[in-house]
Structure 1
Amino acid sequence: MTWNATNPQQSRSELQEEVRSRLVNYLEQGQFDAAKALLQPVQPADVADVIEELPDKSQVIAFRLLGKDEAIEVYEHLDPSVQEDLLEEFKLPEVLEIVDQMSPDDRARLFDELPAKVVRKYLLHLSDQERQATARLLGYKSETAGRVMTTEYISLKEELTVSQALARLRPVANDLETIYTLYVTDASRHLTGTVSLRMILAATPEQIIRDIMTRDVIAAHTDTDQEEVARMIQHYDFLALPVIDSESRLVGIITVDDVIDILEREATEDIYTLGGVQSGGDDYFQTNLLTVARKRVVWLLVLLVTNTATSGVIRAQEDVLESVVSLMAFIPLLIGAGGNVGAQSSTVVIRGLNTESVSMREVLPIVGREAIAGTLLGLMLGVAVTGWAYILQGDLMVAISVGLSLFAISILAAVAGSGLPFLFKAMKFDPALMSAPFITTVVDVLGVALYLSIARILLDL
């Protein structure tokens, strides 16, 4: 079975489920030849998805049915937790064969997930070339270009002819992640230019690489943040980006498939952070419940403590609430609406900062824009809630107090939601991590204070 469905209505997920179901049946019945034949025409990435859905013991059996070359490709696509489980089931020679054949960047990513003692053992048994390549990557800081790059690339010398370049390329083409862009270096390995495979094929055999290469090279440094690398590849529409060291020597490349993984990880981290969940790079749904609770409780405790300020404001205004008890009923509505407005403003600003579509120089225009948006939202919500409050309570002044308060809170929330991410960014804090609890606190405390102050004035209490 292949993923080219004969039924155009059948999705990839449906095909995966069909293969998984048949594979489970074959494995349970001991029909290993049939199971092997089922997996052979399937793409390695899809085989990895199917294996991840199998029970633990079946994962090992299914993986052992794969041919050597296919097994290595499939292994690189597996989730790190599944990779670790499979390593535990294999004998050392089998493990070393897989690990030694992995691309250096995938191997480094795997070693990041393993205990240090295990990593040291595997490193000792790798070939000298692979050990040096892996150790070099592990020596760079986490989440930098040096850590995520691969050393499997080809470089050409400026003085080579096109025919010599092709002769150098042919023997190693199948072992490289990409050959569509080739990198040109001088005698000291300094990156001096690039040349595309198309340009080489279009040139005459006797032409010199120096004469056809592009000298305007866009490159990342080994200490460039991986998010910046992703933005560079996205901005320039590259399939790969060269990585240079502090002396401008070519040391590796980062390919677009790595960038997709980076963007997914960063987006997941940002979403978790916005929700006040410390992801720590782990798969949230494969983490045990005690760890989940520990990661989620931190900001919940912070919010619990900071929200005691709201209780203090209410206690300070008890006389107002005692005089008009109906005011109490609308406090949850007001702080809830304000929190939602603040969350909307902070979300768009944090996303803008992360994608660099918004810069720190645009603080005033952005906050001003959100303030106007908050005003319009407050006007619409205020009118609606005034009518609703009057229907519920039958007291016009109470209804007007609620409506005016919601109008003011919407403006406050929009300003806080858009302004605080800029403030925390300027203070070198993660805007996503810091903004949510502080926006909630600001809106809750000041919102309740505004509401009760407005009510005191309008109701003449």
Structure 2
Amino acid sequence: MQARERSLLAVELQEAWPVLSPEERLEGLRFLPHAEAEDFLLALPARDQSEVILQTSAGERRSWMRLLPPDDAADVIQASPETERESLLAVLDEPTRKEVAALLAYKEDEAGGLMNPRYARLRPDMSVDEAITYLRRQARERLETIYYVYVLDAGQRLLGVITFRELFSAPPDKTVRDIMHTDVVTAHEEMDQEALSRLFAAHNFLAIPVLDDERHVKGIVTVDDIVDVVQEEATEDIQKFGGMEALDAPYLDIGFWTMVRKRGGWLSA
């Protein structure tokens, strides 16, 4: 199949997604090349991710769950039936399983339930040159995205923040303390998602650190996390009134992509 045709299939699947059954959704994902299927799954709301993953074999389930960053894995587990949650948690590697278990202790609409426990961190006494070397190692090993770099003391309490650009443009002999900003906008771990959304809107940041009562940094919430919450709520509304164009052949006799094009047509009209 040509690359353009594969791309069209992904677009068509996305358009038809709200009105497809769980079985049709999984079938559609399996039509896509593996890398595209991974990207498609990562972009879905947690409820849809759960629905797809729970239909797969044990081996596939393990692969899909390990693809997700900790905050997304926690969201998928929370979106799943209670009878399935332990089995989904069990397929994660041990370090990620501990991170996800800690996230699951929060309510899903709190900052603690939305945050990613993996974030870029530095000590204030590092030189800029040392900090850049250390960050490169962090990025290779664990970090999903780096918007800002947070400066912590020995007790993991927040001291300041630096943008990625500021760090890389600073003189190499300066220390992190010299260039960090100390007036950091933060969210408490129990802040609800509506208040958190307003905080993002007011400050236009890409990420906000989440703190406990003692100012320990527990993780970060990114603007993408907030967008995902809004998108999931909108998707649920769409699915309540989702329509379907009449098919010109018996339901079980038509090809999958014919059905996708029929059912997705109303969304793109």
- TM-score scaled to structure 2, two decimals? 0.77
Match of 1:243 among 210, 221, 240: 210
Change (3 A) 1:79 1:195: closer
Cα-to-partner distance string for 1:99-122 (whole Å, 9 max, x where unaligned)? 112022222221122111211011
Q: CA contact under 8 A between 1:51 and 1:63: conserved in structure 2? A: no
SS at match of 1:170: helix
**Which aligned pairs between 1:106-145 and structure 2 lie closer than 5 A?**
106-145=72-111
* RMSD of aligned alpha carbons: 2.8
Q: Tell me which residue corresponds to 2:187.
A: 220
CA distance in 1, matches of 2:47, 2:170: 48
Query: Which aligned pairs between 1:393-408 and structure 2 lie closer than 5 A?
Result: none
Are residue 104 (structure 1) and residue 57 (structure 2) matched?
A: no
1:27 counterpart residue number: none
Of 113, 128, 139 in structure 2, the residue corresponding to residue 173 of structure 1 is 139
Q: Please report the TM-score for the alignment, with normalisation by the length of structure 1.
A: 0.47
Separation of aligned partners in 2, 1:147 and 1:255: 12
Alpha carbons of structure 1 residues 227 and 207: separation in structure 2 relative to 1, 3 Å = same
Say yes or no: does 1:89 pair with 2:45.
no
Q: How many residues align?
A: 239
Matched AA of 2:111 = A
On the 8 A contact 1:49/1:78 being kept in 2, the answer is no
Q: What does 1:219-298 correspond to in 2, within 5 Å?
A: 219-263=186-230, 283-284=236-237, 286=239
What is residue 434 of structure 1 aligned with on the other side? none
Q: Distance in 2 between matches of 1:180 and 1:217?
A: 14
Tell me the distance in 1 between the aligned counterparts of 2:116 and 2:61: 21
Q: 1:196 aligns with which of 160, 163, 166?
A: 163
Superimposed CA distance per residue, residues 176-214 of structure 1 (whole angstroms, 9 cap, x where no aligned partner): 343231111011111110011121122111211011101
Output the amino acid matched with 1:139. Answer: A
Distance 1:179 1:205 in 2: 20
- Contact 1:100 1:127 (C-alpha < 8 Å) held by counterparts: yes
1:234 CA displacement: 1.3
Is the Cα contact below 8 Å between 2:78 and 2:108 reproduced in 1?
no
CA distance in 1, matches of 2:7, 2:22: 21
Check 1:81–1:264 CA distance in 2 against 1; reply closer, same or farther (3 A cut).
closer
Q: 8 Å contact 1:244–1:252 — kept in the other structure?
A: yes
Distance 1:229 1:48, change over 3 A: farther
- C-alpha distance 193-128 of structure 1, shift in aligned 2 (>3 A): same
The answer to whether the Cα contact below 8 Å between 1:194 and 1:214 also exists between their aligned partners in 2 is: yes
Contact in 1 for aligned 2:157/2:216 (Cα 8 Å)? yes
CA distance in 1, matches of 2:5, 2:46: 25
Aligned partner of 1:223: which letter?
E
- Please name the residue that 1:164 is paired with: 130
Q: Are the equivalent residues in 1 in contact too, given 2:47–2:76 (CA < 8 A)?
A: no
Q: Does structure 2 conserve the Cα–Cα contact (< 8 Å) formed by 1:150 and 1:254?
A: yes
Secondary structure of the equivalent of 2:218? strand
Cα separation, partners in 2 of 1:209 and 1:176, compared to 1, 3 Å: same
CA positional deviation for 1:170: 2.0
Distance 1:129 1:283, change over 3 A: same
Q: Structure 1 CA distance, aligned partners of 2:160 and 2:30?
A: 44
| Unmatched 5+ stretches in structure 2 | 242-269
Distance (Å, rounded) in 1 between the aligned partners of 2:154 and 2:13? 42
The structure having more radius of gyration, on CA atoms, is 1
Q: Indicate whether 1:49 and 2:14 are aligned.
A: yes
Aligned-residue identity in percent: 31
Structure 1, unaligned runs of 5 or more: 1-32, 269-281, 289-461
CA contact (8 A) 1:39 1:47 kept: no
Question: What CA deviation, in whole Å up to 9, does each residue of 1:142-195 have, x standing for no partner?
Answer: 311001111231111111111111112224436634323111101111111001
Q: Distance in 2 between matches of 1:155 and 1:197?
A: 11
